[in-house]
Structure 1
């Protein structure tokens, strides 16, 4: 199975650290965010990973190499700067991701979600399903949430939750798009949901969007048990 780590963004809210360090190389509890993801992906049975490069992408390539020390084969999708956002980045990387369902992970989240569950789900994803989202309870900085979930159905009913930055997709998710340059993937999520071709699940374990230095500090205190 292949996975894509979204790692091209500027990390504006993490400045000035991200003026000279790409956000995925920010450390939490002594380990960079992206290396933790790579280790967990490898442990879950993923063997091929695509990483998109934008802001200070050369530092990521230098730090991670070909992935062999993580038990992975890493390929890089070069975007340059400005980067292509989630949708444009995914479109650029599609030739590297193959035809089967693949896993996408935002590199700036921290979670103990069991990745192997998504690996298993990907292998049994119904052919008509284009998308599966992991959702979490709304954090303080995003109280309005993103999507409604009832059982595994995304739609108008159920509890309002926040997208966790962990999802499965088929390459066909972007079919019919003629957008070029930077664009968000979220409208294509919504299109799949409206067509009844998406599912979701709620996760109540550890999860954090490490979007600011303050959120990183809160997470580190929590991990220390403070």
Structure 2
């Protein structure tokens, strides 16, 4: 089990404030994080993995049908859920994390980096001989080096990104630094799972902005790093993606 107190914060953030437009009609009456894959909601699957990694507290940002999502999460056991309300103004990924920083970061002199993941990130760990049997979150935490890094992103080879329609996001250098390839093609796609240091948000924009703005900032400083995922990752952003994910889980015997 990951021991987040050693390297990263015991509080993680799950991004759940999107409108879910690509997931319609499944999101006509519910927020995208509550869409079920094989009988379990996307956000519950993500939170299960966070809890299994030994993290005990999460911050979830809310926007579309936020109260429905809050009521659902309030019923969870064994995980303390805090909320960041974006009902009046959607702040995108970067602005959403920035607004929640006070809930994520201790007020001490040496704030720890923290885990951030998309609520629709659906992945299976690899089966190698790595840290904690290739547990993706444990591998990220073990790979974190605050002397060199401001951001560490979990990357999937584009050729193995199930359901992903894009052409890739980054090149992963031999020294594990990432180089973005605007417009692609690129050999790696970002999974939506990452560790970020609070200092990355210093002098960041006000209001709504994408985390990509901060990735570019870290890349320019040579402090944006990537870690290759050793297991399965699925892009579950559309109804077709849900069907694909259920078929894949069934084929792998992981329902």
TM-score normalised by the chain length of structure 1: 0.90
Matches within 5 A, 1:45-56: 45-56=54-65
> Secondary structure, in 3 states, of the residue corresponding to 1:180?
coil
Q: Does the 8 Å CA contact 2:172/2:178 hold for their aligned counterparts?
A: yes
Distance 2:117 2:166 in 1: 22
After superposing on structure 2, the runs of 4+ consecutive aligned residues of structure 1 that deviate more than 6 Å are: none
* Separation in structure 2 between the aligned mates of residue 66 and residue 102 of structure 1, nearest angstrom: 24
SS at match of 1:225: helix
For the pair 1:10 / 2:19, whether they are aligned, the reply is yes
SS in 2 for 1:17: coil
The answer for the alignment partner of 2:47 in structure 1 is 38
CA RMSD of aligned residues (A): 1.9
Matched residue, 1:104? 116
- 5 Å-filtered alignment, 1:196-207, equals 196-207=222-233
Offset, 1:181: 2.3
Are the equivalent residues in 1 in contact too, given 2:11–2:57 (CA < 8 A)?
yes
Map of 1:80 onto structure 2: 87
Q: 8 Å contact 1:44–1:119 — kept in the other structure? A: no
Query: Which residue of structure 2 aligns with residue 166 of structure 1?
Result: 193
Pairs aligned (count): 220
* C-alpha distance 121-7 of structure 1, shift in aligned 2 (>3 A): same
Partners of 1:137 and 1:219 in 2: CA distance: 17
Match of 2:100, SS state, is: helix
1:132/1:167 contact within 8 Å kept: yes
Q: What is the CA deviation profile of residues 154-173 of structure 1, one whole-angstrom value per residue up to 9, with x for unaligned ones?
A: 1379x631110000001111
Paired residues of 1:42 and 1:72 also in contact (CA < 8 A): yes
**How far apart are the structure 2 equivalents of 1:171 and 1:64?**
26
1:129 pairs, out of 149, 154, 162, with: 149
| Deviates most, 41-50 or 147-156 | 147-156
**Which residue does 2:101 correspond to in 1?**
94
Counterparts of 1:51 and 1:218, CA distance in 2 = 26
| Aligned-partner Cα distance in 2 for 1:81–1:165 | 24
